[in-house]
Amino acid sequence: MAETTRREFMLGEGSGTGSGPQNVHVGIGPAHPAMHGIIRITTELDGEVIVGADVEIGYLHRAFEKDCEHGGWNNAIPYTDRLNYVSPLINNFGYASAVEKLLGIDITERCKYIRVIMSEISRVCDHLTCVGASAMELGAFTVFLYMIKAREFLWELVEDVTGARLTISYGRVGGVKADLPAGFGDKVVHAFKETREVLDEVHRLLTGNRIFMDRMVGVGALSREETIGYAITGPLLRAVGVPYDVRRAQPYYVYERLQFEVPTQQDGDNYSRYLVRMAEMEQSMRIVEQALAAIPAGPVNVDFAGRPIDPASYVDQGKQGKTEGLLLVPLTLSPNLEGQQRAALRRVNVADKRVVLPPKENAYGSIEGLMNHFMLIMEGYGIQPPPGEAYFAVEGANGELGFYVVSDGGDRPYRVRCRPPCLPPMAALHRMIKGEMVGDLIPTFGSVNMIGGELDR
Amino acid sequence: MSILAELQRRFGDAIVETHEHRGDLTGVVARDALLAVLAHCRDDAALAFDVLMDLTAVDYLKFPGREDGPRFEVVYHLYSIARNHRLRLKVRLDEDDPRVPSAVAIWPIANWLEREAWDMFGVRFEGHPDPRRLLLYEEFVGHPLRKDYPINRRQPLIGPAS
């Protein structure tokens, strides 16, 4: 074949490969700094305009749903941490609530409040990360640093409660791992003060900033009909003016008792999504403050006589037959188990021996407690929901996070299905970027807030 | 139960079974009537299920009591923004004929969700415009969420396309 001349190629003259205008295919990702993980977008470009795109996902697939089928019901909790790893607490609670629905049990009041508080703190973290990263990709690096600073304050709260920053594994079927630590309320006040200052600064830096608005207003828009057709929920749906929020539409935990707005915008472009997320952070902090004011205290250290003793001497006393009143003696637990003492555990967990592990004092100190512990941990025993199926949805940071669980009556889930809230917007991404410039792909992709762990499962 | 009763009244035998468990409404639909039922659910003013929240499948191969029955269920979770209600519809499929009509024409999100169900369960969606795998790669052998796919199976190494 004759070599295509430069003239043929550039102007499409003559015969051969250069006839007619040609679109260029450019692959973006999977390893691209703005792809937030690993996504491949194959674009077809006419000059700088995207005329078609194919989004390829699955690079982070690690068989979450298959793994869940190969362990007890509670064993799936650490896997759910790794779904949306920016707000793992919401995933924990969503999964636990789905199993609780299947079991037909209701969690304690204090636990409901704790779940609301921790979910909302996670939501703020998630939105901070999303807005900060999008702003950074548009060159506003300062905003990213400010927002990561605010997120750091919030992650310290999460660390205080759960003992970890990211892989928190704090939810449990029937409750949560441990009670809130002492002085948590004051720390929240401090962290929210810092966060609000950051949000105020970011508002002044971005909202109304000429460069930022030029890149965001009218870019990446999706019509209301298409947004609904693509089953998009969360901030992206509220950005087209549909005030759907699971917390408001089908309240769970104690959301119906708390005052909050569901912010909406009309245009459905990246700027609307930014405004919705900024407004939602303030609402989430409002919810946390109300929940902290209303959380039922519950008795601390009731009817315990004597000083706490350590588990070893506790076991010794039992061996020597000095069992009178032993079950009521408080134990000093290792710092790893802080917040799991008998009183604390009762406040935050369902009083159902078939579901919730006994307090550590009982497991260490009495044969009943030990048996109870083993019955829940041993293979073939454990939590055994009756055969059936249940779907439970919570409002994740990106939209409706649903878990569909099927039980065959055994101690392992028969099927766990996660409805990832960022899959629908990714399925619609090729519609958002069609007809836009290549450079606009970056803020649009940022506003979708793709989280690889959740998208690919 | 009014949603399920309404569907039964309209579609008769095509609604094979209904039940309500833990507040979730479930209807099992005959495969031939699936698209008609789904379209009705979306377009009927009283139902107005405008969102296909989720589409997935379940393999009942090892479910106690259902080993011999239809092996697969394709599960549609519908939600209505206007009416604020939910509905779960299911289609049962035999092992030797795991095919359902595609719902892409009704909800565009079905495109990716059906690709994932094909990828994970090997259920064919007839009339799907783009029937590729979604999460795994084309050279992957088998469908990993099937109950007879062992969790520790290794896949053959693939090289760059030659």
- At B58, the pLDDT band (50, 70, 90 cuts) reads very high
Q: Given CB atoms, is A457 within the 8 Å cutoff of chain B?
A: yes
Closest-CA distance of chain A to residue B34, Å: 18
Contact assignment for B107 to A406 by CB distance below 8 Å: no
Structural domain that includes position B58: 2-126
Residues whose CB is less than 8 angstroms from the CB of residue B93 and which lie 6 or more positions away in sequence, other chains included: B31, B70, B71, B72, B73, B74, B99, B100, B123
- Which among A250, A251, A249 has a CA at the least distance from the CA of A238? A249
* Chain B residues close to A231, C-beta within 8 Å: 51-53, 107, 109
- Cα end-to-end span (Å), chain A: 47
- Which among A350, A349, A344, A342 has a CA at the least distance from the CA of A326? A342
Its ipTM equals 0.90
Q: Given CB atoms, is A66 within the 8 Å cutoff of chain B?
A: yes
Statement: residue A304 has pLDDT above 60:
no
Residues whose CB is less than 8 angstroms from the CB of residue B44 and which lie 6 or more positions away in sequence, other chains included: none
pLDDT, averaged across chain A: 83
Q: What is the pLDDT of residue A298?
A: 47
Give the sign of the dihedral formed by CA A350, CA A352, CA A356, CA A357.
positive
Name residue B78's beta-bridge partners: B52, B87
Q: Report yes or no on whether pTM surpasses 0.90.
A: no
Here the CATH number for the domain that contains residue B30 is 3.30.460.80
Task: Look at residue B143 and tell me if it is in a domain.
Answer: no
Concatenated DSSP letters for A411-445? SS-SEEEEE-TTHHHHHTHHHHHTTSBGGGHHHHH
* Chain A residues close to B56, C-beta within 8 Å: 404, 417
* Chain B residues close to A388, C-beta within 8 Å: 21-22
Give the sign of the dihedral formed by CA A5, CA A6, CA A7, CA A8.
positive
Contact assignment for B22 to A250 by CB distance below 8 Å: no
Domain ranges in chain A? Answer: 1-60+436-457, 74-297+384-421, 311-377
Chain B interface test: which of A222, A404, A429 (most B C-beta within 10 Å):
A404
- Which among B14, B63, B38, B62 has a CA at the least distance from the CA of B114? B38
Statement: residue A106 has pLDDT above 90:
no
CA distance A376 to A353: 9
Contact assignment for A414 to B63 by CB distance below 8 Å: yes
- At A9, the pLDDT band (50, 70, 90 cuts) reads low
Q: Which residue reads 């999100």 in tokens?
A: B109
- At B45, the pLDDT band (50, 70, 90 cuts) reads confident
Q: What is the pLDDT of residue B125?
A: 92
* Chain A residues close to B26, C-beta within 8 Å: 389
Q: What is the pLDDT of residue A403?
A: 93
Statement: residue A4 has pLDDT above 80:
no
* Chain B residues close to A456, C-beta within 8 Å: 135
Task: Look at residue B111 and tell me if it is in a domain.
Answer: yes
Residues whose CB is less than 8 angstroms from the CB of residue A184 and which lie 6 or more positions away in sequence, other chains included: A157, A160, A161, A292
Pair B93, B71: CB distance under 8 Å: yes
Q: Given CB atoms, is A63 within the 8 Å cutoff of chain B?
A: yes
Contact assignment for B84 to A250 by CB distance below 8 Å: yes
Q: For the segment A373-390, what is each residue's pLDDT rounded down to a tens digit?
A: 888 887 777 788 888 899
Higher-scoring residue by pLDDT: A318, A158: A158
Contact assignment for B50 to A228 by CB distance below 8 Å: yes
CA distance B55 to B111: 10
CA distances from A182 to A186, A189, A288, A344 (A): 9, 14, 17, 11
Q: What is the mean pLDDT of residues B80-102?
A: 90
Contact assignment for A406 to B58 by CB distance below 8 Å: yes
Considering only CB atoms, A456 lies closest to which of B26, B109, B135, namely: B135
Q: What is the pLDDT of residue A357?
A: 78
**A74-297+384-421 has which fold?**
Cytochrome-c3 Hydrogenase; chain B (1.10.645)
Considering only CB atoms, A230 lies closest to which of B63, B77, B108, namely: B108
| Token pair in block for residue A431 | 């519609």
Q: Taking each helix axis as running N to C, give the angle between helix A270-294 and helix A109-137, from 0 to 180 degrees, rounded to the nearest 10.
A: 150
Tally of domains in chain B: 1
Closest-CA distance of chain B to residue A10, Å: 30
Closest-CA distance of chain B to residue A294, Å: 28
Q: What is the mean pLDDT of residues A237-258?
A: 90
Q: For the segment A53-88, what is each residue's pLDDT rounded down to a tens digit?
A: 889 888 889 889 999 988 888 888 999 988 888 889
Q: What is the pLDDT of residue A302?
A: 26
Q: Given CB atoms, is A388 within the 8 Å cutoff of chain B?
A: yes
Q: What is the pLDDT of residue B7?
A: 85
Residues whose CB is less than 8 angstroms from the CB of residue B77 and which lie 6 or more positions away in sequence, other chains included: A391, A402, A404, A419, B52, B53, B54, B55, B86, B87, B88
Query: How many beta carbons lie within 10 A of that of residue A251, not counting itself?
Result: 14
Q: Given CB atoms, is A428 within the 8 Å cutoff of chain B?
A: yes
Amino acid, single-letter form, for residue B83: R
Q: What is the pLDDT of residue A307?
A: 45
Peptide bond into A359 cis (omega under 30): no
Q: Given CB atoms, is B111 within the 8 Å cutoff of chain A?
A: yes
Higher-scoring residue by pLDDT: A163, A317: A163
The dihedrals phi and psi of B137, each to the nearest 5 degrees, come to -100, 160
Q: Which B residues in the span 4-63 are in contact with A, Cβ-Cβ below 8 Å?
A: 21-24, 26, 50-54, 56, 58-59, 62-63
